[in-house]
Structure 1
Amino acid sequence: MLWGQKGDDTMNIETVTQASTAIETSAVQLNAMNPEKLANFYQVNMGMTLLEQRDDAFVLGTATGRVLLELYQADSYKEANKAGLYHFALLLPSRADLGAILRYLLERGVELTGASDHGYSEALYLDDPEGNGIEIYADKDRSVWDIQDNGLIAGVVEPMDAEGVLASAQDAFADLPEGTVMGHIHLHVGDLAQTLAFYHEILGLGLKYVMGQQALFMATGASHHHLGANLWNGVDIKAGAEGSQGLRASIWQANAEDFARIKARLDEEGYAYQEEPKQIALVDPAGTRLLIQVA
């Protein structure tokens, strides 16, 4: 089992499912070949608001000011079969909100790549014009989640009840609703055991579900996952060239206590990072960059 590969008898399943921080996903940075065109896509088709346009980036999010996405100029095209983004996932406040955006996407003729019931959530999938994967989902009531005694939260992949979701819509979709957050990020990685060890021991996430030997899901708090990781691009892959098209960095928010704890763990392990006021920048074992910021 993944959690037993370190040879540490204390790293049993009950231990590794427990989170030691309250860190959460906050936003995603993407490198784009045409950031302006991509920013327009997210405004027109996803209901995002352009919050700021800088010389180096387009910053998008909700109309209430929550930053969800930052778009930067890419230096080169995406390389195949590399570590990086599988999808980022926008968590909507309710099923009614999911129904409203589903109807909107269908009316606009936006192509969906999937629509699934995961047991704990209902989710839509699509790609943006530069091939970045997007999930849009709403959680089901926690009372129906398959939460096991050892702390794991079992998920399924079944067809979504699209008619039921559409029928739940109450208002026409205009913008991402207040309360929309970056629910999780799902990554292509090259080694699940290394990914588990890094995000559990350094960032403090707990393991929530293992999909065979192909994928795992981790979270803090009451979430089913803030991080997904899979081997679907291959084993032992690393991130593409710095500045290449695709994921630039995932952004995580931590309270001051957890920020200090993560920094201390990095120092203990001799793990390289760059520190700025209220921010740590580092790369995970697959070479994917992440930023940890004080909320």
Structure 2
Amino acid sequence: MDTKPFIIKKITLRASNISVMRNFYENLLQFHVISETDSSVSYAFRENEEAFLTLEFGGRLRKKNTAGLFHYAILFPDVSSKATIVDRIIKNNYPIGAGDHLVSESFYINDPEGNGIELYHDRDSTEWIWEDGKVKMGTLPVDVQALLDQKNNHLDYPKNMKIGHLHFTGNSIAKSDEFFNELLNTDLVSFVGDTAHFYSQNHYHHHFATNIWEGENINKRNLLENGILKWELEVSKDYYDSISQRIIEKGIPFKDDENSISIEDHVGSKLILFKKI
């Protein structure tokens, strides 16, 4: 089955504090406003590009221990642009963490309402180690100064920026496997014991992950609270048709438009699948 393309196009977050959230995304991260209303704002990495992130305001504070988004991961096509935004974050004294995952090098921040953001750059895929269909990943220290030595003089997001993967907080690895492997037909490519599974298409190190580190008794996503509302994929016609058929066969409630179909995901937010035209 042809699975290409497989693109994470956009995520939408429910938010509440308009001024604080806009200050973070527009002044610290310097994303470009593509469109806005009284109750929402959409961002792209560069002017005249499609939005990859929308904030819909009017949310309320999220209760602890609920399923949802662990982080969304922004993939940089080069090291220098990633180093430049990391340098900016550090100079603004904004909390940041880091990890070398063997397949990639990542930095981690949270936005003001607790949505995790990973800023990462892939190592060449020829350096990824695959054994029996699983890719080797880990978490090692990062040489931050070596990275910062590669920064540019000013922040200018390059072409081909995108959301590289999404990592969810769930309440069941079995439900996650059912959603990603059985419904979306992804491959299980890595795991952390019985507490986190990683999934991919097209032999990528991972497009999705779910962990149960908050426990298995947490409630599913409340869409009125701050956090992820929906995420959008663009896929090939063959892949789209096969998923649509499985949704119908499994009796999963869905909304069907001409070239898109939407369903509830495994944590309670919405997945919208678009067919590549």
Deviation at 1:183, TM superposition (A): 0.5
CA RMSD of aligned residues (A): 1.8
Instruction: Classify 1:189/1:51 alpha carbon distance in 2 versus 1 (closer, same or farther; 3 Å).
Output: same
Deviations 1:96-133 (A, max 9, x none): 22212111212222221x11100000000011111111
1:147, 1:285 → 2: CA distance?
27
Paired letter, 2:195: Q
2:19, 2:194 → 1: CA distance?
39
Deviations 1:210-237 (A, max 9, x none): 1111101111113211101000111143
Deviations 1:18-51 (A, max 9, x none): x973433222110000245413311211131101
Q: Does 1:240 align with 2:221?
A: yes
Residue 133 of structure 1 is aligned with which of 80, 91, 116?
Answer: 116
Aligned pairs (5 A) from 1:1-295: 21-22=3-4, 23-63=6-46, 64-112=48-96, 114-148=97-131, 150-169=132-151, 171-295=152-276
1:41, 1:75 → 2: CA distance?
17
Decide whether the 8 Å contact of 1:79 with 1:240 is kept in 2: no
1:172, 1:264 → 2: CA distance?
51
Instruction: Classify 1:67/1:222 alpha carbon distance in 2 versus 1 (closer, same or farther; 3 Å).
Output: farther
Instruction: Classify 1:102/1:277 alpha carbon distance in 2 versus 1 (closer, same or farther; 3 Å).
Output: same
Decide whether the 8 Å contact of 1:52 with 1:60 is kept in 2: yes
Structure 1: runs of 5+ lacking an equivalent? 1-18
Paired letter, 1:230: N
Deviation at 1:192, TM superposition (A): 0.7
1:177, 1:253 → 2: CA distance?
22
Instruction: Classify 1:181/1:258 alpha carbon distance in 2 versus 1 (closer, same or farther; 3 Å).
Output: same
Structure 2: runs of 5+ lacking an equivalent? none
Decide whether the 8 Å contact of 2:168 with 2:209 is kept in 1: yes
Paired letter, 1:45: L
Paired letter, 1:187: F
Deviations 1:59-118 (A, max 9, x none): 101215132111002332111101101111100001122212111212222221x11100
2:22, 2:52 → 1: CA distance?
12
- For 1:287, what is the secondary structure of its paired residue? coil
Paired letter, 1:97: S
Q: In the alignment, what sits opposite 1:9?
A: none
Deviations 1:140-175 (A, max 9, x none): 111221222x22111011111212211222x22423
Decide whether the 8 Å contact of 1:87 with 1:133 is kept in 2: yes
